[in-house]
Copies of this chain bind each other. A is one copy, B any other.
Amino acid sequence: MYEGAVQDLIDELGRLPGVGPKSAQRIAFHLLQADPADVERLAHALTEVKARVRFCEVCFNVSEAERCRICSDDRRDRTAICVVEEPKDVVAIERTREFRGRYHVLGGAISPIDGIGPQDLKVRELLTRLADGTVTEVIIATDPNLEGEATASYLSRMLRDVGVQRVTRLASGLPVGGDLEYADEVTLGRAFEGRRLLDA
């Protein structure tokens, strides 16, 4: 509908996840009217991210060096590995400041419907990391949905087979600050199942 370059930009923006045709048009017009330096910065950030960012050779988190900041940090506990699906999960867990160990990013979850099996994830690489026996606890922090749970039970079986001392899974239950009446029945069921004794 638009002339060359505007339509090209709308088309490219429309390919991004969560950006529909209306938003693509809105963003394109915003950029048309924006300061050229701002647009240049965005174009540069795109080029840079592809040129500089790769995946950590140890944990497969995003990194600008061969090893990510966490894997290069000697103060991080070597005996615990937290297994997550995506790099953004690492950021979410780091934000809690609850975990001082290292991570392993699988790059997704097992999903037969999307044709993703264990061989498509960094599972073999996880087993290699466990081979020397330094790691005593593996915390499985895949998403609490169908694919995440399938991945968790697959990994838990496999990790027990290779003799990891403790294999744990993040607790499911009521979100803090939420209302009990708005919790879905599966979450509420899990909260019952996982109930804890209160200190007297």
Q: Once the chains bind, are A12 and B42 in contact (CB under 8 Å)?
A: yes
At the interface, yes or no: A62 with Cβ under 8 Å from chain B? yes
The interface stretch among A47-55, A119-127, A160-168 is A47-55
Contact residues of A with B, CB < 8 Å? 1-6, 8-9, 11-13, 15-19, 23, 25-32, 36, 38-53, 62-64, 68-69, 86-88, 91, 94-95
Q: Once the chains bind, are B47 and A1 in contact (CB under 8 Å)?
A: no
Q: Once the chains bind, are A29 and B64 in contact (CB under 8 Å)?
A: no
The 3 A-B pairs with the shortest beta carbon distances in the complex, nearest first, are: A43-B46, A9-B45, A12-B45
Oligomer: number of copies: 2
Q: Known: A63-B3, A64-B4. Is A26-B31 also a contact (CB below 8 A)? A: no
Q: Once the chains bind, are A49 and B23 in contact (CB under 8 Å)?
A: no
A40 and B51 alpha carbons, distance in the complex (Å)? 11
Q: Once the chains bind, are B1 and A53 in contact (CB under 8 Å)?
A: no
Closest CB in chain B relative to A34 CB, distance in Å: 8
Q: Once the chains bind, are A2 and B91 in contact (CB under 8 Å)?
A: yes
A53 and B31 alpha carbons, distance in the complex (Å)? 11
Most buried by B among A25, A28, A41: A28
- Cβ-defined partner of A47 (8 Å) among B19, B43, B51: B43
Q: Once the chains bind, are B53 and A6 in contact (CB under 8 Å)?
A: yes
Q: Once the chains bind, are A5 and B88 in contact (CB under 8 Å)?
A: no
- Cβ-defined partner of A95 (8 Å) among B1, B16, B18, B91: B1
